[in-house]
Structure 1
Amino acid sequence: MPDFNREFVVFQSMWAMQNEQGALPSPLEAQLTKIAEARFDGVSDHFYEPVAAPELWRLASALGLQIEGQLFPKTVDDLQPALDIASQYGCHHLTIQADVRPRTLKEAVTLIEGWQRLAEQVDFPVLIETHRYRITNDLHFTLDLLKAVPDMKLLADLSHYVVGREMPAVPGADDQQQIETILRHSWGFHGRVASCEQVQVPISFEQHRPWVELFSRWWTLGIEDWLRRDRVHGSLSFTCELGPPPYAITDRFGRDITDRWEESLLMKTLIKGIWERVSSTP
């Protein structure tokens, strides 16, 4: 592969830091310090509120952490305030979870193209996340969107398509081809391992090894494809996003059945190993 100047950064989701009650167990600064000390490169969090965003930026910047901003626009104009905030304080990229579910391709294309026009004014990537109950809810609809808007840049969270379509651990040829199409249009990843029936399974459990291996192969393909693209410089992100309940499986008392922080550290080690192996291959 060409010797381009490429950067790989691994973020930790602030949502993943929440406990079973949906709250941070300690103040924001303490949580960010924990993340920085674990040698994550940044954090992922909402980054569109005029009061909360500056404080997150101040604390994260002091610790050398970058920010993946998340927002949930329903209209084209909803993107502008987030672009203004991210431009003022700086971020690695913005991730759009488009909180709208159009019934026709024409409606979806109008939204995507509107967001793309607005994104042209900033110097950081604005990515559309693949996510259930969003504009990219259905895999086939998203593939149709890519045909209509081939320059649409995705952030791939493949867990939603695995559980949403009940994909087997050994995907069929059509499934594999469709996922690879998503990967070829992806400029970042959210890390979570799903099974055909659960959106988030503990990666440390032996029974989930086939699913961990499947996602590892897909992430490998995604990184390989990103490295082949015609860009002299680039920064690829991967966010460990092991969410609290109801994403996390719980016992009868509503407690996590595994330590999600430890699982995030395992995932960070896993994906960094994949990057080092792929990026060092001639």
Structure 2
Amino acid sequence: MSEASKREFVVFQSMWAMQNAQGVLPTALEHELTKIAEAGFDGITDHYYAPDTARELSRLASSLGLQIEGQLFPQTVDDLKPVLEIASQYGCHHLTIQADARPRSLKEAVQLIDGWQRLAEQVDFPVLLETHRYRVTNDLHFTLDLLKELPDLKLLADLSHYVVGREIPLPPGEDDREQIETILRNSWGFHGRVASCEQVQLPISFEQHQPWVALFSEWWKYGIEDWLKRTDVQGSLSFTCELGPPPYAMTDRNGQDVTDRWEESLMMKALIRDIWAGCTRSIGKRI
């Protein structure tokens, strides 16, 4: 058996993506989790910083065989400490930091992230920093500078924010491709959403959006293959289908989704598993 075939890949569904146009779950949490498990997802992504909420989410998810990607939004180094205790107590696949800080200097950002990295060394699950707008990783070039200062920084790549935030064209320029690939070479998980240079979340079932779907598929393939070739890999690689409700989702004149986001989540799950299968076959032949 090749090393590539031993690597595991898990696909999660975002609980935020399960919300309706009013921003709430349409049914009870247990029912929504059951729906996700029965659809063949490996886990879920949700907020994981309140003890009572984390305990109940962990109890229900565990009973259904679902793993958890915990999300948190710290502003300071110390904000991470209680969340690490919660995640250690109730368990998680990994924690994803959306850093709710916007330092103006690289030095300040490095100090903040380095503090989180030191705390993360104390737990036995990954703690990843998400690439996201209105966060410390808001700007692509600033994030690349962070990687030069913190070469061991592990990212969670949501590429949609850089595509829409920087209005990256189709096809991307060579510099754009090299910069995105640098992000991917430092990423240890993905949040899945297809953007264009004008919209953060495109309906992936629309024919006119297929060139963007192809571009993101190419990038995800690159990131997966790079992860498979790493020698320091532990655990499994995760991909979260994160098709959020309005205003992320495009809406009609009545404010309703123009597509069925659940059905598109299933499409994305199938797409990324096909990409993973192709990558393992390709990498396996080279090992």
Q: Same fold (TM over 0.5)?
A: yes
User: Which blocks of at least 5 consecutive residues in structure 1 are unaligned?
Assistant: none
Structure 1 partner of 2:113: 112
How far residue 214 of structure 1 moved from its aligned partner, in angstroms, is 0.2
Aligned residue for 1:54, secondary structure, equals helix
Q: Distance in 2 between matches of 1:167 and 1:144?
A: 19
Listed one character per residue, the Cα deviations across residues 186-213 of structure 1 (whole Å, up to 9, x for unaligned) are 0000000000000000000000000000
How far residue 233 of structure 1 moved from its aligned partner, in angstroms, is 4.3
Aligned residue for 2:266, secondary structure, equals helix
Q: Distance in 1 between matches of 2:64 and 2:119?
A: 30
Q: Percent identity?
A: 77
- Partner letter of residue 137 of structure 1? N
Aligned counterparts, 1:234-273, within 5 A: 234-273=235-274
How far residue 232 of structure 1 moved from its aligned partner, in angstroms, is 5.8
User: Which blocks of at least 5 consecutive residues in structure 2 are unaligned?
Assistant: none
Structure 1 partner of 2:158: 157
Q: Distance in 2 between matches of 1:209 and 1:15?
A: 24
- Partner letter of residue 275 of structure 1? W
Structure 1 partner of 2:170: 169
Structure 1 partner of 2:217: 216
Structure 2 partner of 1:148: 149
Aligned residue for 1:51, secondary structure, equals helix
Aligned counterparts, 1:1-282, within 5 A: 3-4=3-4, 5-231=6-232, 233-281=234-282, 282=285
Listed one character per residue, the Cα deviations across residues 207-254 of structure 1 (whole Å, up to 9, x for unaligned) are 000000000000000000000101364300000000000000001101
How far residue 3 of structure 1 moved from its aligned partner, in angstroms, is 1.6
Q: Distance in 2 between matches of 1:233 and 1:72?
A: 25
Runs of 4+ in 1 over 6 A off after TM superposition: none
Contact 2:44 2:69 in 1 (8 A): yes
TM-score normalised over the length of structure 2: 0.97
How far residue 113 of structure 1 moved from its aligned partner, in angstroms, is 0.4
- Partner letter of residue 3 of structure 2? D
Listed one character per residue, the Cα deviations across residues 67-102 of structure 1 (whole Å, up to 9, x for unaligned) are 000000000000011100000011000000000000
Q: Distance in 2 between matches of 1:236 and 1:53?
A: 22
Contact 2:185 2:223 in 1 (8 A): yes
Q: Distance in 2 between matches of 1:51 and 1:234?
A: 27
Contact 2:227 2:233 in 1 (8 A): no
Aligned residue for 1:274, secondary structure, equals helix
How far residue 280 of structure 1 moved from its aligned partner, in angstroms, is 1.4
Aligned residue for 1:210, secondary structure, equals helix
How far residue 50 of structure 1 moved from its aligned partner, in angstroms, is 1.2
> RMSD value over aligned CA atoms?
1.0
**Comparing 224-233 and 30-39, the one that deviates more:** 224-233
Q: Distance in 2 between matches of 1:11 and 1:109?
A: 30
Q: Distance in 2 between matches of 1:110 and 1:232?
A: 26
How far residue 62 of structure 1 moved from its aligned partner, in angstroms, is 0.1
Aligned residue for 1:26, secondary structure, equals coil
